[in-house]
Chains A and B, each alone.
Chain A
Amino acid sequence: MTVVYQKSKGLTDVELHYCPGCHHGIAHKLIAETLEEMNAIDTAVGVCPVGCSVFADKYFSCDMFNAAHGRAPAVATAIKRTHPDQPVFTYQGDGDLASIGAAEIVHAAARGEKITTIFINNAIYGMTGGQMAPTTLIGQKTTTSPLGRTVEQAGMPMRMAEMLSTLDGVAYAERVCLTDIPNLNKAKKAIKKAFQLQMEGAGFTFVEILSTCPTNWGFSPLDANKWLKENMVPYYPLGVVKDVTKEVAK
Chain B
Amino acid sequence: MAKKELWKGNEAMAEAAIRAGCDAYFGYPITPQSEIPEYMSLHMPQEGRVFLQAESEVATINYLYGAGGSGKRVMTSSSSLGVSLMQEGLSWLSGAEVPCVLLNCMRGGPGLGTIQPGQADYYQMTRGGASGDHHFVCLAPGNMQEAVDMIQESFDIADQYRNPCLIVVDGLIGQMMEPIEWHEVKKRDLPPKTWAADGRKGRAEHNVIKTIFVEPEDDNEFNEHLARKFEEMKKNEVRYEKTQCDDAEIVIVAYGTPARVSLSVVRKLRAQGVKVGLFRPQTIWPYPEEALHEVAAQDSVKRILCVEMSEGQMIDDVRLSVEGQKPIDFYGKAGGVVPTVEEIAEQVEKAVKEAVR
Contact = CB atoms under 8 A, between A and B. Distances in A.
Interface of A: 12, 41-45, 47, 54-55, 57-58, 60-68, 71, 74-79, 81-83, 86, 103-104, 107
Contacts of A71: 58-59, 62, 65, 89
A45 B197 contact: yes
Contact of A42 (B70, B202, B212): B202
B212 A66 contact: yes
A43 B52 CA distance: 23
A74 B63 contact: yes
Interface of B: 23-24, 26, 50, 52, 54-56, 58-60, 62-67, 69-70, 72, 74, 88-89, 92, 197-202, 206-212
A42 B199 contact: yes
Contact of B66 (A12, A61, A65, A103): A65
A45 B70 CA distance: 9
A78 B100 CA distance: 13
Contacts of B72: 82
A66 B23 contact: no
A103 B55 contact: yes
25 contacts: A12-B206, A41-B200, A42-B201, A42-B202, A43-B199, A44-B199, A45-B70, A57-B210, A63-B207, A63-B208, A64-B197, A64-B208, A65-B208, A66-B208, A68-B92, A75-B63, A75-B65, A78-B66, A78-B74, A79-B69, A79-B198, A82-B50, A82-B72, A83-B199, A107-B59
Nearest to A40: B199
Contacts of A79: 66-67, 69-70, 198
B76 to A, nearest CB: 11
A83 B88 contact: no
B62 A74 contact: yes
Contacts of B26: 78
A68 B63 CA distance: 11
Contacts of A104: 55, 58-59, 62
